[in-house]
Amino acid sequence: MARDTGQNTYRSIHQHAQSDPNGFWLEQARAVDWTRTPSVGVDQSRSPFNRWFADGELNACHNALDRHVAAGRGDQAAILYDSPVTGSKRSISYRELTDQVATFAGVLKAQGVDRGDRVVIYMPMVPEALVAMLACARLGAVHSVVFGGFAARELAVRVDDCQPKVVVSASCGIEPSRVVAYKPLLDEALALASHRVPHCIVLQRDALKAELVDGRDHDWDSVMQTAEPAPCVSVNSNDPLYILYTSGTTGKPKGVVRDVGGSVVSLLWTMPALYDVKPGDVYWAASDIGWVVGHAYIVYGPLFHGCTTVLYEGKPVGTPDAGAFWRVIEEYKVNVLFTAPTAIRAIKKEDPQGKLVADYDIGSLRSLFVAGERCDPDTLAWSGTTLGVPVIDHWWQTETGWAIAANPLGIEQLRIKSGSPSVPMPGYDVRVLDNDGAPVAAGDIGAIVVKLPLPPGTFTTLWNADDRYVSAYFDRYDGFYETGDAGYMDDENYVYVMARTDDVINVAGHRLSTGAMEEVLAGHPDVAECAVMGASDTLKGQLPVGLVILNAGVERDHDEICAELLARVRTDIGPVAAFKSVAVVERLPKTRSGKILRGTLRAIADQKEWTMPATIEDPTVLDEVTDRLKTLGYAGGS
């Protein structure tokens, strides 16, 4: 979609999608290759189990690969693999990738995988992981990617829930400072699981070879040499494309189900409309295939649109330094970078002045998109100044599969407002409601919800848990999807996501956003990253507690810095915040995708029972943080 300042403005397109969702999305569906073209937009007869393009049939792998080869893009790079942790690089063309995927689909078919069967993929960031995902889609099978290196118990839970016929894995994952053996974790998980997995296919990596179990385990290279390539299988639009597990409050993970037709239509549409890229552009989502961003924008979105996708097995810092991202941009002429704010903050912490950018030619870069957690204004401003391109914060969730709110560069570049992921994307009717379900005034904090029906590409249910799908997301506000996020909309319909609903704290009857306080702390020139949580207080109900990480090279007295932080919050938020507790820490507890575990921090501060999060990057950080909270009088401190 080209830019158009005439009739195709953001406002007109959003209004079209809202007033005539069937017509709007059927129009977008024309860009997709269907084996049976749909005549129906959305079927709302069983809402909230709404179904898009129900009479359509297609294949996602064909739309990602085969059709581009047929259209003359066979020699274009589909994947640019860059692995600083192994010192290896590969360029894989659309033709080569199609051949590899067809062959691996034949491998899976030989192991009994058919349309609708599940395959668990437990792999590092290597091209073979993408091959496995696309091979499942080619057969009409359902893949469930589990983040490589996840604990055995968590992997076992997912195996029991989706009951795969095959698990595809690798001998190891590689971190900057260590090699992570995957195979022992896989063996333990399969021993713990009640479901018996008949076949495992294991990619042997040079850094560590794994022992294979006779009769069950198969070597990737060996089976690829003898397999017969498999053709694409046409499936119904509403068949599942994949299951992706997200953490659940009950301790049992929620298997988010994404359908085929909605995924192809929505992701294909977002590439030009939101990210302003065209076929042949180089698109880099610096995420992991274990997360929803990796599914949508490392694999499917770029390939549906005929782009070149960058697959990076490394870190924003430490592989080898804080200039790693800029090196990749220069080397591969990246046009659009999509990463998490935490990655930018990690770079900023090590290189506060952004001096390393000058060592590279990043002239190909047109825009930076950030998502995954709230982007504070200071990080947004630093990125824009350092890179010299528009920095677009956008907000979405595992459940939605693509952006709820964003600044759609390919439709119309709107004014960027610091602290806001901009406006609802076409297809999303966003509202802010109070606890009783009534709309709140512009600027007032409430629960952010989306009026049904949700657009194509959003989740259709939870695997084997239809009742939980309804109770977790649709029961509280009738006719709306409850995002679980709190915030407000201004008088121009810009959305401000301030915190998870649980992180809006009540201080002496005043509803306050921890996100707003984090904005103030992050604005201090010495602060690299921060977290604010609400801790229980007998007098005021809750009080905010802050933890901050300082920039590299800061040698000032910590007490002096903390005093300045307390004063900043008092000035910018007001005495009503009662912000009196802040401490400097070396690290914050995060998930592997970079999200700060604020709920765990809150439980520790309140001395409540908590379980070790399965997604935590480094459990040892919790001991360090607990000690610091004790010095502030929390977590059992005096």
Question: What is the spatial distance between Cα 168 and Cα 165, in angstroms, rounded to a whole number?
Answer: 10
Q: CB of 144 within 8 A of CB of 168? A: no
* Tokens at 362, concatenated: 């990043």
Question: What is the spatial distance between Cα 365 and Cα 361, in angstroms, rounded to a whole number?
Answer: 9
**Helical spans, DSSP H, in 112-228:** 127-139, 152-162, 182-192, 220-226
Q: What is the CATH number of domain 508-631?
A: 3.30.300.30
Q: Which of 64, 90, 63 is nearest to 77 (CA)?
A: 90
Question: What is the spatial distance between Cα 540 and Cα 535, in angstroms, rounded to a whole number?
Answer: 10
555: Cβ contacts below 8 Å, ≥ 6 apart: none
Per-residue model confidence (pLDDT) at position 566: 94
Per-residue model confidence (pLDDT) at position 510: 64
**Helical spans, DSSP H, in 5-93:** 10-19, 21-29, 60-61, 67-68
* Tokens at 422, concatenated: 């901009």
Q: CB of 547 within 8 A of CB of 531? A: yes
At position 216, the amino acid (one-letter code) is R
Calculate the alpha carbon distances from 114 to 221, 261, 425, 510, 552 in Å: 22, 19, 36, 56, 53
Ordered mean pLDDT values, 10 residues apiece, the chain (638 residues): 57 97 98 98 97 98 98 98 97 98 98 98 98 98 91 91 98 93 96 97 97 97 97 98 78 89 98 98 96 96 98 96 98 97 92 97 98 85 96 96 98 94 98 95 95 98 96 96 94 90 67 80 94 84 91 94 94 83 93 79 86 79 91 78
Stretch(es) of the chain classified as CATH 3.40.50.12780: 10-314+394-428
Q: Is 369 helix (H, G, I), strand (E, B) or coil?
A: strand
Stretch(es) of the chain classified as CATH 3.30.300.30: 508-631
Question: What is the spatial distance between Cα 567 and Cα 573, in angstroms, rounded to a whole number?
Answer: 10
Per-residue model confidence (pLDDT) at position 5: 40
Calculate the alpha carbon distances from 406 to 106, 350, 392, 417, 421 in Å: 40, 29, 7, 11, 5
Q: Is 583 helix (H, G, I), strand (E, B) or coil?
A: strand
E strands, 273-318, in order:
282-285, 308-312
Q: Which of 64, 1, 460 is nearest to 299 (CA)?
A: 64
**Please, what sign has the CA dihedral across residues 53, 59, 63, 68?**
negative
* Tokens at 60, concatenated: 């996602």
- pTM comes to 0.86
Per-residue model confidence (pLDDT) at position 502: 61
Q: Which of 280, 275, 288 is nearest to 309 (CA)?
A: 280
Q: What is the dihedral of CA 351, 356, 361, 362, to 10 degrees?
A: 0
* Tokens at 55, concatenated: 């009479």
349: Cβ contacts below 8 Å, ≥ 6 apart: 317, 528, 529, 549, 551, 552
Q: Which CATH superfamily is domain 10-314+394-428 in?
A: ANL, N-terminal domain (3.40.50.12780)
254: Cβ contacts below 8 Å, ≥ 6 apart: 245, 246, 247, 248, 462, 465, 468, 472
Per-residue model confidence (pLDDT) at position 6: 44
Cβ-based neighbour number of residue 630 at 10 Å = 16
My answer on whether omega of the bond before 352 falls inside 30° of 0, hence cis, is: no
Per-residue model confidence (pLDDT) at position 508: 64
